[in-house]
Amino acid sequence: MAFAKSAGRVEDETENGLRVYDPGFQNTAVARSSITYINGDEGILHYRGYPIEELAENSSYLEVAYLLIYGELPTPTQFAHFEHEVMHHTFAHTKLTELMQTFNYDAHPMVSLHHLRPFLPNPSVTISADFTRLLPPQGCFITGIAAMSTFHPEANPALQGADVFTNNPQILNKQIFRLLGKSPTLAAHAYRHRIGRPANSPQNGLSYTENFLYMLDRLSEREYKPNKQLARALDILFILHAGELRLGGRWEENWGSEVGVFQMTDFASCSPNVCSVTNVDHELNCSTAAMRHIGSSRVDPYSAVAGASAALYGPLHGGANEAVLRMLERIGSAENVGSFLGEVKARRTKLFGFGHRIYKNYDPRARIVRKVAYDVFDIVGREPLIEVAIELERAALADEYFVSRKLYPNVDYWSGLIYKAMGFPTDMFPVLFAIPRVSGWLAHWKESLEEKDAKIWRPRQIYVGPPRRSFVPLSHREQGTESQPDVAVGTSTHPFRKRSKVATYKEGSGDDQ
């Protein structure tokens, strides 16, 4: 409901200075960062000054994580120490594992039950399986991350003081090692719980991604070792996602053309026909902004990472890879690509995985991911949808309609196919994106702690509500005015409620008899 603004209203604060109204912070800079540089016109992406192509070809995920967090590539001695610390902080507390086992087998592996966290430190409180069945079918990963804070009170600024990390770099680094080390473990636990298998313990002597694949897939085999080429492919994907900060947006007519670009913030207003989503560390996306926003209160990093992960799971933030897969499945075969693109140009359907809000050239990550896709297909076999994807890319890049609008394949176009070919269910995709992003979130968290003029984030609003009005007693309020909000709640359709509604009974509990 809207209220007219009058110059005499006490709510009018224009005399206090200029205030910019920028919905969704589309053009508001709230932080100075040295982590990532992007030039969308030229298709350039740098992590701390290093081209993403060079890092993907020559580096490893853990080395890139060190670069993002500490600002420089490590020396051999520094990397050996960093890798040792991360890989020796991979075991999860048994109580944490027990908590994750209480969720329904079909709980989504990503979303958390944040309200359980305050109960965990109290040994007198137990969480029964019956209790968790009353909750929506949600997952385990964020719950595990949030719960970690209850096991490390020495790293809780609410208990140890707001300057605990700035005054003691060792405590800060300890939490970085723990979060990087345990994220794959919690993700693997969530996956194993989902498929009804016991969790595997981390193994020494394996790389970061090899260890993750081991915890996912090992059954009872002796000396099980994941395929090194698959592990390397996953490592490259982790590098590309390490700094990913998806920028939200909305359906809008973009680049002065009649072709809309889907930018993942308002499904309700969907109408254009070309869909693209950003997913790299160019400035503050929803989840990274959440990390810095939550962290600005000086909360512990586990709560902040859990909040960032929850933001990542939202359908307006993630979901691009899944949308690409659904689109390819709908096309069905390479022979149908031509007619599909005709429908796109006629604005009768939508094209996912093409175009980019920042890149006006070929997404540099898409070139890398395309090669990784072929490497993975050579190992595990071609995903049936790959022929459709290849023909769709070829046809779109040969069509002036799309090329003139700078609609090139983005990283989402290929990464979902890779994960699907590797055997991951689509509801595991957000977890796979969250694991490598932990390093990017931690880089921003550490950077924010080092800001000399750091303040708690507190955006302002433009008040558009009613002016001052007097309270009216309930008995004197009129019925049925248009201004009254609709707060109707639908009736339950559960079978036992239907039966109970026609039963006879007395108020009170049957246990009182």
Q: Which helix (H) or strand (E) holds 84?
A: helix 76-87
| Listed residue (172, 108, 114) closest to 146, CA to CA | 114
pLDDT tens string 450-473: 998 889 999 888 888 999 999 999
Residues paired with residue 102 on neighbouring β-strands, in sequence order: none
| Listed residue (410, 487, 477) closest to 240, CA to CA | 410
Work out the percent of the chain whose per-residue pLDDT is above 90. 48
412 catalytically annotated: yes
Amino acid residing at 237: L
Tokens of 374: 């072929």
DSSP letter, residue 446: H
- What is the 3 state secondary structure string of 133-189? HCCCCCCCHHHHHHHHHHHCHHHCHHHHCCCHHHHCHHHHHHHHHHHHHHHHHHHHH
* Phi, psi values for residue 79, rounded to 5°: -70, -40
User: CA–CA separation, 346 vs 203, rounded Å?
Assistant: 54
Flag the least confident range among 102-116, 119-133, 396-410. Answer: 119-133
- Per DSSP, the three-state class of 14 is helix
Residues paired with residue 46 on neighbouring β-strands, in sequence order: 37, 51
Say if residues 230 and 380 touch (Cβ distance below 8 Å): yes
Work out the percent of the chain whose per-residue pLDDT is above 70. 75
- Per DSSP, the three-state class of 490 is coil
- Per DSSP, the three-state class of 220 is coil
Residue 252: partners with Cβ closer than 8 Å, 6 or more residues away: 260, 261, 263, 272
> Mean per-residue pLDDT for 403-426?
87
Tokens of 310: 């929850």
356 catalytically annotated: yes
Mutual angle of helices 429-449 and 301-313, in 10-degree steps:
140
User: CA–CA separation, 102 vs 99, rounded Å?
Assistant: 5
Say if residues 249 and 25 touch (Cβ distance below 8 Å): no
Does residue 45 have a pLDDT over 60?
yes
CB burial of 19-58 (b: ≥16 within 10 Å; e: otherwise) equals eeeeeeeeeeeebebebbbbebeebebbbbebebeebbee
3-state helix, strand, coil in the chain (%, to 5): 50, 5, 45
| Listed residue (221, 351, 299) closest to 456, CA to CA | 299
Residue 362: partners with Cβ closer than 8 Å, 6 or more residues away: 43, 408, 409
Mutual angle of helices 228-242 and 411-421, in 10-degree steps:
150
Residues paired with residue 262 on neighbouring β-strands, in sequence order: 275
DSSP letter, residue 362: -
Amino acid residing at 323: A
| Listed residue (266, 261, 248) closest to 311, CA to CA | 248
Does residue 167 have a pLDDT over 70?
yes
pLDDT tens string 48-79: 999 999 999 999 999 999 999 999 999 999 99
Q: How confident is the model at residue 435 (pLDDT cuts 50, 70, 90)?
A: very high
CA distance readout (Å), 12 to 435, 458, 461:
46, 20, 12
Flag the least confident range among 41-50, 102-111, 332-341, 381-390. Answer: 102-111
Give me the count of residues in the chain. 513
Residue appearing with tokens 């209160």: 297
CATH superfamily of 52-106+134-248+282-450: Citrate Synthase, domain 1 (1.10.580.10)
Indicate the burial class of 111 (C-beta count within 10 angstroms; 0-12, 13-18, 19 or more).
Answer: buried
> Mean per-residue pLDDT for 122-144?
47
> Which of the two residues, 195 and 507, has the higher pLDDT score?
195
pLDDT tens string 173-197: 999 999 999 999 999 998 998 888 9
CA distance readout (Å), 264 to 17, 72, 109, 413:
33, 33, 22, 15
Tokens of 399: 């069509």
CA distance readout (Å), 178 to 172, 241, 322:
10, 19, 30
User: CA–CA separation, 432 vs 186, rounded Å?
Assistant: 11
- Does the global pTM surpass 0.85? no
Among residues 281, 300, 363, 412, the one annotated as catalytic is: 412
Say if residues 286 and 315 touch (Cβ distance below 8 Å): no
Does residue 148 have a pLDDT over 90?
yes
Average pLDDT of every residue of the chain: 80
Q: Are strands 252-253 and 260-262 parallel, antiparallel or unpaired?
A: antiparallel
pLDDT of residue 312: 85
Helix and strand numbers (H, E) in the chain are: 21, 7
> Mean per-residue pLDDT for 227-231?
96
User: CA–CA separation, 305 vs 312, rounded Å?
Assistant: 10
Does residue 298 have a pLDDT over 80?
yes
pLDDT of residue 454: 87
Residue extents of the structural domains in the chain: 52-106+134-248+282-450
Query: What beta strand segments (E) does 192-303 contain?
Result: 252-253, 260-262, 274-275
Provide the 10 A C-beta neighbour count for residue 106.
12
* Phi, psi values for residue 327, rounded to 5°: -65, -45
Among residues 356, 444, 453, 486, the one annotated as catalytic is: 356
pLDDT tens string 3-43: 455 455 565 666 667 778 888 887 888 889 999 888 767 77
